[in-house]
Amino acid sequence: MSRLIVVSNRVPLPAKNGAASAGGLAVALQSALAARGGLWLGWSGKICSDEPVGPLTTLKDGNIEYALTDLTDLDVEEYYQGFANRVLWPICHYRLDLAEYGRREMTGYFRVNQFFASRLLPLIQKDDVIWIHDYHLIPLAEELRRQGVKNRIGFFLHIPWPAPDVFLAMPVHDELLKSLTAYDVIGFQTRQDRENFAACLARQNIGERLGEEEFSAAGRTFIARPYPIGIETDEFAKLARQAGNTTLHKRMRQSLDGKDLIIGVDRLDYSKGITQRIDAFETFLTRHPDYQRKVTLLQITPKSRSEVPEYEAMQKTVAEQAGRVNGALGTVDWVPIRYVNRSLRRAALAGLYRMAKVALVTPLRDGMNLVAKEFVAAQDEDDPGVLLLSRFAGAAHELKEAMLVNPYDVEGTADVIARSLAMPREERQARWEGMMATVRENNVFTWCDTFLGDLAGNEAPEGVEQPR
């Protein structure tokens, strides 16, 4: 088997105290790489003010080798906080109103991609397969090709690919679209994302579609396919089963004192629909006063990207909103919303999912959303909770048995919260069984193996020459 090189912006180093990072890419890739081994290159998270940036830091954990590079403060400002998180992230999540496009940031983005290529080049061996992740590194393969790299290179986009009208509002759309054609395999979360991408290519007259998944451009062929990401389902289910007896969970049960638990778990991000969700919960409590003092919403929301102004502002908005609802509806012995603004251990999270009667997974847009899948995996098959899921999450394309909602429809979501809490056990079981079968089948290993299988064996469609 050829060596696998994974490249992603951030590299989650092995956790020293079990406090895993809150982030879907990290969670999924860590599971996938631990099983197969390989080299993982990315940003160390450190910012240096001197140039040139020093040598790579390397370390080994089990069969994963890590190679980490620092970035300069200008790099971080332009590439990471600038173009990646203030242009690509909002645009791919349909928030053109939040996109802050600037040429300086765009130039920085391409420059840092060149820098990543220069760091990677000396590490590449002849038969390595290279798997690049996410929106930070779209032009990386093009840079590598320019330097003569002939290895197989794949790309997986963890976030949505938006409809052409939205994507093409970004000034450098053609550069990004063309740079993607340097890959051999491009993976998306859903068929809809792939179709949006294909529609952008067609609209801009870039390359040609040869089949459902095959494309050609600039004398090369590549495939673009949906590979829905998953979790380590059995492992996570076990974690949730075992969590029941820990002190934290006993304390939690005690503090609930028979009240039903509703749970929300999201990085603090405007794409996750947290404010709409709190509105929906408030509407639900107001419309169904019988439930007041009988339910509690636990919203776990670790801080994320706090250096980006929109995120900093959101921290304030959500905290104020939760405080306002608690002030308006709470009583001396009942707090409607427990708002936790930091990261919990993964095992703690698993146990809390299992304790919850309902999960509110209501992003306004989401590539997949692993929380939805984790919640399903964590349930007790005899008495499973209900997943209330936004139809704008990639996960909704697979988890058809969830209670699907439109998160923009606050009143509609409030009604579905009430129906979910009142759902009879047989219906909960039937819905859960369907979802669990999917979460088992499309797990993180299937995701990884299918992608890497395609990357290893992408045959050129007949009659098309594939320059290597």
Rounded distance between C-alpha atoms, residue 6 and residue 31, angstroms? 13
Residue 307 burial (C-beta neighbours within 10 Å; 0-12, 13-18, 19+):
exposed
Residue 5 lies near ligand GDG (rule: CB under 6 A): no
Q: Does residue 230 belong to the site contacting ligand GDG (CB under 6 A)?
A: no
Selected range binding ligand GDG among 274-282, 360-368, 398-406, 454-462, rule: CB under 6 A: 360-368
**Is there binding between residue 359 and ligand GDG (CB under 6 A)?**
no
Tell me how crowded residue 17 is: count the other CB atoms within 10 A of its CB.
6
**Per the residue annotation, which of 128, 266, 366, 454 is the catalytic one?**
366
Task: Indicate the residue among 175 and 195 with the shorter CB distance to ligand GDG.
Answer: 195
226 near ligand GDG, rule: CB under 6 A: no
Q: Nearest-CA neighbor of 356 among 386, 336, 323?
A: 386
For residues 359 and 371, the answer to whether their CB atoms sit within 8 Å is yes
What number of CA atoms fall less than 13 Å from residue 35's CA on the CB side? Answer: 12
Kindly state whether residue 360 participates in binding ligand GDG, applying the rule CB under 6 A.
no
Determine whether 306 is exposed, middle or buried from the number of CB atoms within 10 Å of its CB (0-12, 13-18, 19+): exposed
Q: Is 300 in the site for ligand GDG (CB under 6 A)?
A: yes
Contact segment (CB under 6 A) with ligand GDG among 200-208, 291-299, 328-336, 340-348 equals 340-348
Task: Work out whether strand 57-61 and strand 38-48 pair parallel, antiparallel, or are unpaired.
Answer: unpaired
CB 177 within 8 A of CB 216: no
Applying the rule CB under 6 A, the residues between 258 and 277 that interact with ligand GDG are: 265, 267
CA separation (Å) from 214 to 15, 136, 220, 223, 390?
A: 40, 24, 11, 5, 31
Q: Is 290 a catalytic site residue?
A: no
399 in contact with ligand GDG (CB under 6 A): no
Q: How many residues in the shown chain lie near ligand GDG by CB under 6 A?
A: 26
**Candidates 136, 158, 193, 454; catalytic one:** 158
Is position 302 an interface residue for ligand GDG (rule: CB under 6 A)?
Answer: yes
Which residue in 35, 2, 127, 135 sits closest to 448, CA to CA?
35
Please report the beta strands in 18-127, taking only residues with DSSP state E, as ranges in sequence order. Answer: 38-48, 57-61, 64-72
Query: Which of residues 233, 343, 413, 420 is near ligand GDG by CB under 6 A?
Result: 343
Catalytic site includes residue 366: yes
Closest chain position to ligand GDG (CB): 24
Which among 195-203, 207-215, 363-371, 414-422 is the span making contact with ligand GDG, rule CB under 6 A?
363-371
Whether the CB-CB separation of 141 and 185 falls below 8 Å is answered with no
Pick one of 10, 86, 145, 158: the residue that binds ligand GDG (CB under 6 A): 158
Select 213 or 366, whichever has its Cβ closest to ligand GDG. Answer: 366
Is 38 a binder of ligand GDG (CB under 6 A)? no
CB nearer to ligand GDG: pick between 22 and 224 = 22
User: Which residue's CB is nearer to ligand GDG, number 285 or number 370?
Assistant: 370
Nearer to ligand GDG, 244 or 302 (CB): 302
Check whether the bond before 289 is cis (ω within 30° of 0): no
Contact range with ligand GDG by CB under 6 A, out of 20-28, 166-174, 213-221, 243-251: 20-28
Least distance to ligand GDG from the beta carbon of 264, Å? 10
- Beta carbons of 456 and 2 less than 8 angstroms apart: yes
**In angstroms, what is the minimal distance from the CB of 330 to ligand GDG?**
24
23 is a contact residue toward ligand GDG (CB under 6 A):
yes
What order of strands is seen across the sheet that includes strand 386-390? Answer: 337-340, 295-300, 260-265, 358-361, 386-390, 403-405
CA distance 282 to 455: 48
Tell me the two tokens of residue 231. 């979790």
Pick from 90, 264, 367, 407: which binds ligand GDG (CB under 6 A)?
A: 367
- 366 lies in the binding site for ligand GDG (CB under 6 A): yes
- Nearest approach in angstroms of CB 17 to ligand GDG is 11
Rounded Cα distance, 67 and 49, in Å: 20
Strand 4-10 relative to strand 337-340, pairing: unpaired
Residue with Cβ nearer ligand GDG (224 or 265): 265
Interacting residues toward ligand GDG by CB under 6 A = 20, 22-25, 27-28, 158-159, 229, 265, 267, 300, 302, 343-346, 349, 366-371, 374
Tell me which residues are annotated as active site: 158, 366
